[in-house]
Amino acid sequence: TTCQFFVMLLDCFIRNLRRINREIVYHYTSSFHCQAPCIQSIRMASLTPSDVQAENDGTVVKTEKQLKKEAKKQDKLEKFKKKQEAKASGQEEPKVEKKQKVKEIVKYTIPTPAGEKKDVECAMPSAYSPQYVEAAWYSWWEKEGFFKPEYGRKSAYEDNPRGKFMMVIPPPNVTGSCHLGHALFNSIQDAITRWHRMKGRTTLWNPGCDHAGIATQVVVEKRLKREKGLSRHDLGREKFIEEVWKWKNEKGDRIYHQLKIMGSSYDWDRACFTMDPKMCKAVTEAFVRLHEEGDIYRSNRLVNWSCTLKSAISDMEVNKEEIPGRKFLKVPGYQKEVEFGVLVSFAYKIEGSDDEIVVATTRIETMLGDTGIAVHPEDERYKRFVGRHALHPFCDRKLPIVADDFVERDFGTGAVKITPAHDFNDYDCGKRNNLLFIGIITDDGIIANTSTGFDGMKRFDARPAVLDALKEKGLYRGTKENPMIVPICSRSKDIVEPLIKPQWYVGCGEMASNAIKVVKSGELKIIPKLHEKTWFNWLENIRDWCISRQLWWGHRIPAYKVSVSDPLVVLPGEDEEGRWIVARTEEEALEKAAKKFNTDKSKIRLDQDEDVLDTWFSSALFPFSIFGWPDKTEDLECFYPGNLLETGHDILFFWVARMIFFGQRLMGKLPFTEVYLHSLVRDAHGRKMSKSLGNVIDPLDVIYGVTLEGLYKMLVEANLDPKEIERAKAGQRADYPNGIPECGTDALRFALCAYTAQGRDINLDVKRIVGYRNFCNKIWNATRFAFSAFGDGFTPNATSEETGKETVIDKWILSRCSFAVDESNRGFEEYEFQAATTAIYNFWLYELCDVYLESIKPIIYGEDEEKKTTARNVLYMCIENGLKILSPFMPYLTEELFQRLPPRPTKERSAASITVASFPEKLPWRNEDIEVDIKLVQDVVRTLRSAKQDYLPPKVRPEVFISCSTAEVEDLLKLYESIIATLSSVQKVSIGVKLAVPEGCTMQTVGNKCQVYILLKGLVDVPREVERIEERIKKLKTQIDKLISSMNIPDYEKKVPVEVRDANSNKKEEFEVEIANLQRALTGFKALK
């Protein structure tokens, strides 16, 4: 039976193969060793009668292809046989490892002390090298003071008719190192700053760093544990703070170093750290003033609590993970994974009856703290229960059943258990209905205060225990999967627990209202405008801001709890605000306390609040605290308010809104008038950057390059779970099989700005950055050609005015240069960086390099000196202005080339550095009529190049015929006949109206203006080319069919990783484009037959 089944399958297989190629079948079956009749009959079925006759005669005629294949196979067998014999005799030659060709990296090796100007008299390397170009410039920029607002003037505070520009850095965490998100904001902000500086404005971009309370404390605690086996409690607060400062002084400048490598033009002498003395003074003053004005108060409320950190955390530090249903998650402190994403239903018995009310919850352990049940007032199912009580099954507690319209009737059972002390919605419901607030979870996540056998259990250990107990009592009613959002602490990875804590709060209502007004009035401009809707929605529904953090590192709250040893003084309760004194110093607090409680200072004891302020509190003061506020300094008067804040839209509320709050409240002015919100950086597949995905890239790895092994090493150092490491490695192998090549700072900066389109996230593909590195090489080579074309002793004209001797192509390139300048200025003015980079890229690559340089080569290498001089000066004007408009994006490359440009014999080129050179204003060279004419010439050249690529081998120069639709088109194209021939690399161009064209030409149309004919006769073997193209199309279609088949498998979207799906889609698209191009060529060749 097995044999019969095999024969049936084989028969089916052979017959299908036969449809494809009879020769394949014959040779496949010829290799069968089995002589069974069934096998031989299948084999014979593949043969034609002539094949059978030939085989019977023993004279099978084999094709040339078959003979080559057999010879190749025999050759391999002979080599293998010799190898085996050598191995057996011990004479095997040792393997010679193939050496990979490593491209030599050209470096700048001339000794140049830090701060001294780089030597630009030496010869330029033959190709662009980022490491060569970027060497030595930054320290010189710094020493010369180009980044300071004082540069070029007596004082930063003097009036400047060109205006002033001031912007602060979004201060990065002191614990951090740059990732591509930092690289994005840094590239955009530096480009903006450099543009303003080159416009002649008094410019300040103020750097700084955030103390990052939670993140820094966690890092130092881990270090203490690892190196000394100690906790912060073993050291005590004072000693621990010393350890933090020690770590900060050792490691905290890393991110500054990275920012400098990226060419950031900060005034580093004004750098601020949010724990600097002047910043601490500002924080204390702000807290005291806001408390005195009633904006800061103390209250016992629900907060986001991390049981691992034992601290409240901000909304910013809560990651909300969406899960579609049942899922087990790792939680710190638990050996087993904890179940989430299920809805458990259980019953509460109604007091005085046999009735019950069924509730549903995703956190069954919190039922130990239930103090009520809520139903919708219009829900007919439960109206009879409202006003009655349910009985808690595990303790002597009665739960009032209340009507509240926050209940969703269609969710769960329509009845909601209320745990006011452990749920934000329940908290509000409990307040509205005067329910009890019973805290059942301690600071470190232990069940307590329930008077049940569950006390002392960890909260998630109590989860299954409570469920089992409900089952024992017959109250369990079922479990079903339920989509939910799990709040996870971004710092500790713990599940956030809502707990009631006495904390300090900022009342945000009035400040939020004012922040809404300034946007609606246009006083504050948010760019892109689409973020305004989110701004209004968030501020209209804002909660008061909890600013207490249970940490040691940070700004300690300037509030003192009062104790009095005078029996005549009656003090408020421990947690009541009246018990606290807010003051700038302990001495001031003592004075205030004595006055408030009408007692002698000697009878008062003050205990300063152990908590510190939320890091965002000090960050909200950053735009004016950096200038010495509350002191009235010259810097504060000169640079506050600033012009612009540039940051990511993800911190619009956590930072931007709060700066608006405090700026208006404490300074009476907005801290800036414009907010530009850049997009988030994602990977090439559109995924968020995540260490566990292996797609978080250090900008320095893009700048200097990194091997795949180097990327692996960083994963190991990232403290990931072993499973996550393997997953991340797989992602890196897929995206960077050969690592990341060296791209350089300029290419990275330009790519990030070029990606920036308002309102869209950035799917960053490293391959595109590599493309911009090639663009840098193109600029380098174009400028080298220019220097060669200038020759020795060249001095450009004194001004950049036209001489009147310019040719049409000269006027065209100057017009395009003028357009690029206009677009660059508009791009910066309107924050359309993609428009600016596109104009610059097109000017350098497609207009200057592809057209103008090629068109003037015959002049440069010719004998007409007057034409040479004109061409050289036009080329000089293009290079000079092209470098200036490129400089804000590519500071290193443009400085290197700018310093090598021959100076004009006037003060026009008096700038010591391109950093402080004047940015081009509107140039007078724009000529749109010439641009329209040259556009047709470019279209003709593009068509010819494309056709040559389709039909001819490289370097073949065919004869071309252009048949024009009108005499006007003929006259126009004849003006540029030599340029068309030069740019298209053709032998001869004939132009006319209804031109007679010889046989053997392929034809392409250029709109309705003309037809372009290329003479192919005698240059190619037409039948052979047709056969080659048809064979290639056939192969491509087969590959497309395979891809479509693999993409049509069930659950393709779920089963196949996103990077594989993207690769398949890209391959399919590439194959389809190639087929379209081949089909076009095939049609042309067939027309020649």
Specify the 3-state DSSP secondary structure of 740.
strand
Question: How big, in percent rounded to 5, are the helix, strand and coil portions of the chain?
Answer: 50, 15, 35
**What pLDDT, on a 0 to 100 scale, did the predictor assign at position 51?**
47
| Rounded-to-integer distance, Cα 575 and Cα 256, Å | 42
| Rounded-to-integer distance, Cα 290 and Cα 275, Å | 20
**What pLDDT, on a 0 to 100 scale, did the predictor assign at position 1081?**
74
**What pLDDT, on a 0 to 100 scale, did the predictor assign at position 934?**
92
**What pLDDT, on a 0 to 100 scale, did the predictor assign at position 730?**
83
In degrees, to the nearest 5, what angle opens at C-alpha 910 toward C-alphas 908 and 913? 125
In one-letter notation, the amino acid at residue 212 is: A
| Rounded-to-integer distance, Cα 982 and Cα 986, Å | 7
In one-letter notation, the amino acid at residue 522 is: G
| Rounded-to-integer distance, Cα 284 and Cα 618, Å | 10
User: In the chain, which residues have pLDDT < 50?
Assistant: 1-2, 5, 7, 17-60, 97-98
**What pLDDT, on a 0 to 100 scale, did the predictor assign at position 66?**
63
Strand 372-375, strand 398-403: pairing = parallel
SS3 per residue for 643-663: CEEEEEHHHHHHHHHHHHHHH
**What pLDDT, on a 0 to 100 scale, did the predictor assign at position 141?**
98
Look at residues 718, 713, 712 and name the one whose alpha carbon lies nearest to residue 691.
Answer: 718
**What pLDDT, on a 0 to 100 scale, did the predictor assign at position 692?**
57
**What pLDDT, on a 0 to 100 scale, did the predictor assign at position 755?**
87
Contact 420, 427 (CB under 8 A): yes
Burial class (CB in 10 A: 0-12, 13-18, 19+), 459: buried
**What pLDDT, on a 0 to 100 scale, did the predictor assign at position 33?**
43
**What pLDDT, on a 0 to 100 scale, did the predictor assign at position 758?**
56
| Rounded-to-integer distance, Cα 211 and Cα 220, Å | 12
**What pLDDT, on a 0 to 100 scale, did the predictor assign at position 32?**
44
In 337-376, which positions are buried (b, 16+ CB within 10 angstroms) versus exposed (e)?
A: ebebbbbbbbbbbbeeeeeebebbbbbbbbbbbbbbbbbb
| Rounded-to-integer distance, Cα 279 and Cα 33, Å | 88
Count other Cβ atoms within 10 Å, centred on residue 412. Answer: 20
**What pLDDT, on a 0 to 100 scale, did the predictor assign at position 45?**
46
**What pLDDT, on a 0 to 100 scale, did the predictor assign at position 127?**
94
Token readout for 229 is 């086996």
CA 1040, distance to chain mean position in Å, is 32
Q: What is the DSSP letter of 689?
A: P
Count other Cβ atoms within 10 Å, centred on residue 1062. Answer: 16
**What pLDDT, on a 0 to 100 scale, did the predictor assign at position 10?**
53
User: How many residues in the chain?
Assistant: 1089
**What pLDDT, on a 0 to 100 scale, did the predictor assign at position 862?**
92
Strand 484-489, strand 476-481: pairing = unpaired
